[in-house]
Amino acid sequence: MKKKIAILGSTGSIGKQALDVLSHYPEYYEIVAISARQNIDLLEKQADCFKPSAIAVTDCDRGRELKARLDGYDIKIYYGEESLVHMIEEMHIDMVLVAVVGISGLKVTLASINKGIDIALANKETIVAGGQLVMETARHKGCSIIPVDSEHSAIFQCINSCKNHEEIKKVHLTASGGPFRGYTKAKLGKVTVEDALNHPNWKMGKKVTIDSATLMNKGLEVIEAKWLFDMEPDQINVIIHPQSIIHSMVEYIDGAVIAQLGRADMRIPILYAFTFPRRFPTMTEPLDLFQTGSLTFERPDIHTFPCLQLAYSALTMGGSMPVVLNAANEVAVAKFLREEISFNQIPVIIEKAMGKHKILNNPKIDDIIYIDKQTRLSIG
C-alpha cells in the first residue's frame, strides 16, 4: 500500500526537494496534499505534476485565484489562515511533512498529531515554541516525529542503536558558522542583506539562511534537540565545523562518539524521514573524503554572535520563554530582510523582548499563540 503524504510548504526549499525525492518512488508514496502561503503559480505546476486531492493556500486572495484557475480539476482547494488545519482534518493522510516557515507550523502539526498522523518535521520554530506540548501530545497519540533538520536527522540516526537513554552522555550539534564566521562585531555592523543570504554550504529559504548567519539557527536547533531527544541544556554542545560534512554526533558514557557524515544535501535527511527505518538510494553524489580533505572544528564565538547564547538562556529559563525568543527572532529577521535594522540589532531586539517577559510554565496552545502575538505587537 502506498503511503499518503501531505507536503506543507511545497513551494519552499524543503518542500520542493521533498517532492523531487519522492517523485522517484511513486510505487511507495502518493502526494495527496500540498500547500503554500501565496505562490500559486508553482502550486498550479505541482498540481499538474503530482495530481494531489487537495491544496491549501493560507493567503485568501491567492487561494481564491487558484480555485478559479483549477476549476474543472478534481482537487479540493482550501484557503485562509486555518486552511492547513482544515485540510489535514478532512483528509486521510499517513504522514505530513511540515516544511512551512515560522510559527505557522504549530497548529497544523498539533492537528496532525491529534489525528494520529506521523510527522516529518522540518519546521523547527514549531518545536522551539511548542516543544513540550508537541512531544507530550505525540507520545499520548503514539505518533512518530521524525526530524528532517540535518543535525537532528544525524542524531536520530546515531541514537537509533541505543537501547538505554541513560547511556547517552551528550549530543554535539555541528554548525557551519555561516557566512560571517571569524568576523568582528564591528565588521558585522556593516554586513548587508545580500551578504547574509550568501550561505557558504547550504541553499535554503531566506529566514533560515539569516538564522544561520546570526547563529540563531543553531540556538533554535539546541532547543529542538532538547525536545526531540529529551536532553538537558548542558548535554547539548555546539561545535563549529565549517565543512558541513559531519552533520552531528552522539557521545556515549563509555567515551564512544558516533557521527553521521554525508554531503551537505538536504535530500538525504528528507528522504530518510519518509523511508525510516529503511534507506532508499538518493541522487546525491557519493561523499569522497579524499576530495573533502581536512575536517576542522572550532568553538562558537558567542560574544560576537549572541543569538546562540540567548537561545540557551531561553531554554534554561524554560516555560514560555522560547516562544518569545522565537517570535522576537522572526520579527527581527523580517525587519533585517526589509533593511529596517542592522544585523547587530537582531539579538538586541530579542534580548529586550525576553527581558520584558513573565514566564508561564507549561504553556498550552492558546497561551503560545497569545504570547507569540503579544511579543510581535510589542516589537512593532
- Determine the Cα–Cα distance for residues 98 and 57; give it in Å rounded to an integer: 14
- Determine the Cα–Cα distance for residues 129 and 134; give it in Å rounded to an integer: 9
211 near Mg ion, rule: CB under 5 A: no
User: From Mg ion, ligand NDP, none, which one binds at residue 55 (CB under 5 to 8 Å depending on kind)?
Assistant: none
What DSSP line would sit under 71-132, residue for residue?
Answer: TTSS-EEEESTTHHHHHHHHS--SEEEE---GGGGHHHHHHHHHTT-EEEE--HHHHHHHHH
282 near ligand NDP, rule: CB under 6 A: no
Q: Which of 22, 77, 119, 149 binds ligand NDP (CB under 6 A)?
A: 149
Q: Which of 80, 205, 233, 318 binds ligand NDP (CB under 6 A)?
A: 205
224 near Mg ion, rule: CB under 5 A: no
- Determine the Cα–Cα distance for residues 124 and 326; give it in Å rounded to an integer: 10
Q: Give, for 319, the enclosing helix (H) or strand (E).
A: none
User: Measured from the CB atom, is 62 or 199 closer to Mg ion?
Assistant: 199
Is the Cβ–Cβ distance between 174 and 239 less than 8 Å?
A: yes
149 near Mg ion, rule: CB under 5 A: yes
- Determine the Cα–Cα distance for residues 146 and 211; give it in Å rounded to an integer: 22
User: From ligand NDP, Mg ion, none, which one binds at residue 124 (CB under 5 to 8 Å depending on kind)?
Assistant: ligand NDP
319 backbone φψ class: left, alpha, beta (φ>0; ψ -120 to 50) = left
User: What residue type is 142 in one-letter code?
Assistant: G
328 near ligand NDP, rule: CB under 6 A: no
251 near Mg ion, rule: CB under 5 A: no
Shortest Å distance, C-beta 22 to ligand NDP:
15
User: From Mg ion, ligand NDP, none, which one binds at residue 260 (CB under 5 to 8 Å depending on kind)?
Assistant: none
Q: Which of 3, 24, 38, 94 binds ligand NDP (CB under 6 A)?
A: 38
Q: Which residues bind Mg ion (CB under 5 A)?
A: 149-151
Q: Which residues bind ligand NDP (CB under 6 A)?
A: 9-15, 36-39, 58, 99-102, 104, 122-125, 149, 202, 204-205, 207-208, 266
